[in-house]
Amino acid sequence: MSRIYPHIYFGDRLVDSEAATLHVASSAVLYGLSVYTVFNVHYANDTYLAFRLRDHFRRIVDSCRIIGIDTFDQEWTLEKFSAAVQETLHANDPQTTTFVRASVHVTQLIPGTRSRGLKTALSLFVYEALPIVPQTGARLKTSVWRRTPDNSIPSRAKVNGAYINSVLAKQDAIDSGYDDCIFLDNDGHVCELSAANIFLVRDKTIITPSTTSDILEGINRRTIIEIAQDRGMRVEERTVDLTELYIADEVFISGTSAYVAPVIEIDARRIGNGEDGPITAQLRTAHTKALAEQSDKQWLSVL
């Protein structure tokens, strides 16, 4: 379990962690009506570097828009959000790399099953940056649970209540002795893991499920694609069959909490030679560098 730092931004100010609470009759509790994002914060030379903060703020706004939460972006701008993140980090004073989870909670009491015109509150908390999958090689199991489709609960919106889908699938994988799951859509095509995107490499081509494959449009996913293209690598975003993973030269996963991790086994089948592949290793090194260094892409915001 990751350690949570003691000071949390909740509503419009910093509070002690015990005071950052939601009413049991709020929409956030009753219906899981919150949206969120998680981003990496690198600490160096008494400075905090937040990875793609603008993109993460946009993700929250877009998730609200998809779900119909229409009050958050009336009250919050990127500048105000950045200031709240900065205040939260400096109050907790972490001296190492951490994660920040930012959530928008619908706090209206007993409003019924609706989303518009309701009160919201922003929360920000800082926690220890522990990876959610083994970094030396993950073992995955195809889930018996299917990914919720875009016309049910859209995966491109990070909605808290929707993550029961991921809980069911990952717990099944853990119970079966694996590290995580692979979701398929209703047509049997590959989507993603419980909380990370997936890539495969065949004949030096990097392949990943398209944004219309019921996936989260991951910010780290996009970063990996940009890094690969900048290095002249061929990248395909398309529909992916499960059996393509079985015969891939390499498979790897990406995400804020997953970083870039190789996959060495899927459904009791060894992937490639069962070790970290050369393209995975190259992209992981570049991704690690991107998390800690300002670039011409302005990936990092200095706080």
Range of the domain at 266: 138-292
| Domain stops at, among 82, 99, 130 | 130
Give yes or no: residues 104 and 193 share one domain: no
Q: Please count the structural domains in the chain.
A: 2
Do 126 and 142 sit in the same domain of this protein? Answer: no
Whether residue 106 is found in the same domain as residue 250? no
- My answer on whether 151 and 288 are in the same domain is yes
- Do 261 and 238 have their domain in common? yes
Residue 298 lies in a domain: no
| Whether 169 and 276 share a structural domain | yes
Boundary-marking domain end, from 80, 101, 130: 130
Say what the pTM is: 0.96
Per-residue pLDDT of the chain (303 residues; tens, 9 = 90+): 789 999 999 999 999 999 999 999 999 999 999 999 999 999 988 899 999 999 999 999 999 999 999 999 999 999 999 999 999 999 999 999 999 999 999 999 999 999 999 999 999 999 999 999 999 999 999 999 999 999 999 999 999 999 999 999 999 999 999 999 999 999 999 999 999 999 999 999 999 999 999 999 999 999 999 999 999 999 999 999 999 999 999 999 999 999 999 999 999 999 999 999 999 999 999 999 999 887 767 788 888
Claim to verify: residue 121 and residue 173 sit in the same structural domain: no
Specify whether 123 is located in the same domain as 193: no
80, containing H or E segment = helix 78-92
Residues 101 and 162 in one domain: no
